[in-house]
Amino acid sequence: MTPNVTFLGIGRMGQSMATNIARAGFPLTVWNRTQGKAEALATHHATIADNPAEAVAEADIVCTCVTDADAVSEILFKRGVAEAMKRGAIFCDMSSIAPLAEQEFDTQLTKLGLRHLDAPVSGGTQGAELGSLAIMVGGEKDTFVEATPVLAAMGRPFRVGPCGAGQLTKLCNQVIVAISIAGLSESMLLAEAGGADPSAVRDALRGGFAESRVLQEHGGRILERNWSPGAPVRNMLKDLNTVLTTAERCGIELPLLGLVRDFYDKLSARGFAEHDQTSLLLELEHRNAPHRVGNKPDSGPEV
């Protein structure tokens, strides 16, 4: 039988994710705190619910993609979603939160007779639109198998282990992305300062060991000085703080990541929290301002 799906949280990512679920032919109900953001889904034959508890009443699989663990907790327990869900239904959290928080939700949901997956995503708004997100899933294998057709409508689901493992994998992803963006930004700054054309330098690097999706996509953003998110600085900073807290609990140190987090923190404090994460270049330019000639303005294009 085709499962009934509910999607809670129709934000920048959720809009496209829910659209792809509807396009795949799943009966879909959606809810968002600001209802106007959900109304566009009506053109894809989605039902627009007035409140989240109503939205999940008949759902077999409930997906959510919201800001942080507090928002997940509010939806589940303050707005009545956990109580309203059918026993045996699957709650699939696609937000990016701490593994420990996800494990605590799992314990609470299990006591209520519900099943649970943590399934954070990577790929940004473009991946959400194209249905090509990397979906990192933690939870029981049988639950994952049952939810896979719905997840596959949004991208490539891959089970990485028990509950919390999906969130841990997303943190690993953010370590790689953040450090890669920092290295890319520094290389573009060096190219310009040394008198080379940064665009030509990027083209020359393509196909070598530096080749990556970061070089391809984020490199283009940096060269265009296009700071429209994408993935905003505030979200990257939230994730990097979660990485460092998790690393501390694991008894390890991540010194490179700590330096990059500090740069993002300073960038956010200077008013760029809503810029794309590639705007880290602006912090490096600010740091090097006394030594540079012909500085570009911090703002770049409007976001």
Separation CA 197–CA 115 (nearest Å): 54
pLDDT of residue 301: 47
Find out whether 63 and 7 touch, Cβ atoms under 8 Å.
yes
Exposure of 67 by Cβ count < 10 A (0-12 exposed, 13-18 middle, 19+ buried)? middle
pLDDT in tens, the chain (303 residues): 899 999 999 998 999 999 999 999 999 999 998 888 888 899 999 999 999 999 999 999 999 999 899 999 999 999 999 999 999 999 999 999 999 999 999 999 999 999 999 999 999 888 999 999 999 999 999 999 999 999 999 999 999 999 999 999 999 999 999 999 999 999 999 999 999 999 999 999 999 999 999 999 999 999 999 999 888 999 999 999 999 999 999 999 999 999 999 999 999 999 999 999 999 999 999 999 876 654 455 555 454
Helical (H) or strand (E) element with 157: strand 155-161
Exposure of 86 by Cβ count < 10 A (0-12 exposed, 13-18 middle, 19+ buried)? middle
Residue 47: name the closest of 66, 71, 73, 21 by CA: 21
Q: Among positive and negative, which fits the CA dihedral 21, 72, 102, 143? A: negative
pLDDT of residue 115: 98
- List active site positions: 170
3-state DSSP assignment of residue 59? coil
Exposure of 209 by Cβ count < 10 A (0-12 exposed, 13-18 middle, 19+ buried)? exposed
Separation CA 286–CA 288 (nearest Å): 5
Separation CA 290–CA 24 (nearest Å): 54
Q: What does pTM read for this prediction?
A: 0.91
CB atoms within 10 A of CB 233: 25
pLDDT of residue 2: 94
Tell me the two tokens of residue 194.
Answer: 């040394």
3-state DSSP assignment of residue 146? helix
pLDDT of residue 287: 94
